[in-house]
Structure 1
Amino acid sequence: MNKLNEMQAFVTVADTGSMSEAARQLGAAKSMVSQRMAQLEKRLGSTLLERGRQARLTESGEVFYRYCQRILAQVDEAEEAVQAFGASVSGTLRLAAPMAFSVRYLAPVLADFAARYPQLRLDVEVDDRRVNLHEERYDAAIRIGELPDSSLVAKTITANRHIICASPAYLAAHGTPQTPQALARHFAIHYVNREPHGMWTLPVDTGLESFRVRGRMRTNSGHQLMEAARAGLGLTILPTFLAAPDIVSGELVEVLAPHAPRGGSISLVYRRSQRASAKLQALAGFLGERIGNPPPWERMLADHAARR
């Protein structure tokens, strides 16, 4: 057990780059984490970490880190397999989720999920970074968009529709584009994770075409896209889960509806080895139940269109 504790502490220090942050995540004193690292290096006869403003892996540390990740993941999977026999929704569920969707919709849903299953401990990391479920110690992730082929199991929660939109003030000053070709005369707020080179890929007829739109701002934040569009800086592409309230209030206006880019789905993904996990099955069911299909933001837009 001491070896597993040392491995867990080592992986956490390597992931965070900080003894203090590792101690915070582990719920231990910094001195205890430092002591475990010193004992581990002494036992192995090798320096695993370069100490400094940020802890960095040595060459031998890189090798040991990869082994530790696999071993700890296998320990988790073994526990999951045993827990699944009793169909008990308990233990720890470590989930990665995207920022904008979490702030707007997911946070209260996960709070209610935790309340329904009091024996379950949720560990939620909210970040737009795409985590590697095979190499990092996450049980599952919420993914938004088109999912590439992979060995992961994907449970679709609902569709993720995108729209092109701008503020009424921007459209009054610059005109409303009627075709994708007209985008060359407009300004845009670009989402760097989707449009790193300032190109929009839109459906035209039966295919996809790319169009350059002059950038006024680049950001990796969905909320920043929305605020910049409200401020009249240009056109932007937003998921309807973010844009719906502003479309209803009139602060944003949808344009080029026939050429709205594909948004894929909002999905829960996890490793195939965890297909029998009671807590993941419970989470997938709960998300489908609470978010629904159509989801609340699409119902909002449908009601708004019916009233017009």
Structure 2
Amino acid sequence: MNKFVEMQLFVTVVDAGSMSEAARRLGTTKSVVSERLQQLERRLGVPLLVRGRKMGITDPGQTFYAHCVRILAQVCEAEDAVLDAQASMRGQLRVAAPMAASVRYLGPMLARFAAIYPDLRMEIDLSDRYVNMHDENYDVAIRMGNLQDSTLVAWPITVNRHLICASPGYLAGRGTPADPAELSAHDGLLYGNREPQGTWQLLVNGQLESFRIRNRLCTDSGHQLLEATKAGLGLAILPTFLAADPIAAGELQIVLPACSPSGGVVSAIYRQSHRASPKIRTLVNFLAEQIGDPPVWERPIRAELDAIGT
């Protein structure tokens, strides 16, 4: 079998995490993938994978994978060098993006991008769940927050600012906390994907500290969290892409601005084996231009953020 084909097969298996999923992606059968991998291992004289209930990768396999990714990327770059940019914007592009940021911002941006490149077939998954790039066959994901997986390549776009917010009605009735230690006497609206236990990680004098707040409501929907906050049910940590317009309209107020928690960054992430293909580069450059830095959604409250030094 051609060595480049072997490399692509091996990289696909590692990225897919299983023989069955790799076979599906390659359009063949599990038995064919298994036999070709065994042939590759016999040729190299070392085991590359650990077979079992959960497939693993050996140390030689890790080394071989890193070299395969680099070599295949160089081959693609050589091809891209002789292709016109518009010609490379064909085929399929699978994108995952958070629902909460897509309703108002990312969704229209992705639609405009698709309109510019009519030969590009886009598959867009909008969901606030955590997308595992190794288990699901996405080309690129837009992620908002702190990045955990060091095996992925991250392309930072802008800051993902978070603010503690409450409605004027809630604060009039319950008082405005002047110190994070007072949060335990307040009702908290919690984002289940980030703070399911009712503990907030806040910055105090440059150090992260944990503070308990009463669990009044917990949800995995950013929009539900926003509506509950506007309804006066309690305090919530909200990203500015949700909170900026209600703050500008007087529906929400910023609380404890000096202790605003870090929301990480808005990033485009992709697997090393996908490298920054022309389609990924073009999409991320487009989104970076559309979003801006500071991001477009913070324009309505730019003066407030500058005043509190956020």
TM category (shorter chain) comes to 0.7 to 0.9
Deviations 1:133-155 (A, max 9, x none): 12211111111101124111111
Letter in 2 for 1:118: P
**C-alpha contact 1:201 1:208 (8 A) present in aligned 2:** yes
State the 1:117 CA deviation.
0.9
Letter in 1 for 2:206: T
> Within 5 Å, which residues of 2 pair with 1:1-308?
66-73=18-25, 81=76, 84=80, 86=83, 87=85, 88-303=88-303
State the 1:65 CA deviation.
9.0
Over aligned residue pairs, what C-alpha RMSD do you find? 2.4
| SS of match in other structure, 1:144 | strand
**C-alpha contact 1:69 1:137 (8 A) present in aligned 2:** no
CA distance in 1, matches of 2:198, 2:306: 35
Letter in 1 for 2:249: S
Letter in 1 for 2:150: S
Give percent identity, aligned residues only.
52
CA distance in 2, matches of 1:259, 1:305: 13
**C-alpha contact 2:17 2:134 (8 A) present in aligned 1:** no
State the 1:104 CA deviation.
1.8
Deviations 1:146-174 (A, max 9, x none): 11241111111111000001000000000
CA distance in 1, matches of 2:193, 2:223: 14
TM-score normalised by the chain length of structure 2: 0.73
Letter in 2 for 1:234: G
State the 1:129 CA deviation.
1.6
CA distance in 2, matches of 1:135, 1:220: 22
State the 1:73 CA deviation.
4.8
State the 1:298 CA deviation.
1.8
**C-alpha contact 2:17 2:135 (8 A) present in aligned 1:** no
Letter in 2 for 1:207: Q
State the 1:66 CA deviation.
2.1
State the 1:306 CA deviation.
8.2
Which stretch shifts more, 141-150 or 195-204?
A: 141-150
State the 1:294 CA deviation.
1.1
CA distance in 1, matches of 2:187, 2:290: 37
Unaligned runs of 5+ in 2: 1-15, 28-68
Letter in 2 for 1:248: A
TM-score normalised by the chain length of structure 1: 0.74
State the 1:84 CA deviation.
3.8
State the 1:81 CA deviation.
3.7
**C-alpha contact 1:70 1:135 (8 A) present in aligned 2:** no
Which stretch shifts more, 276-285 or 251-260?
A: 276-285
**C-alpha contact 1:156 1:265 (8 A) present in aligned 2:** yes
CA distance in 1, matches of 2:17, 2:165: 46
CA distance in 2, matches of 1:231, 1:135: 38
Count the aligned residue pairs: 243
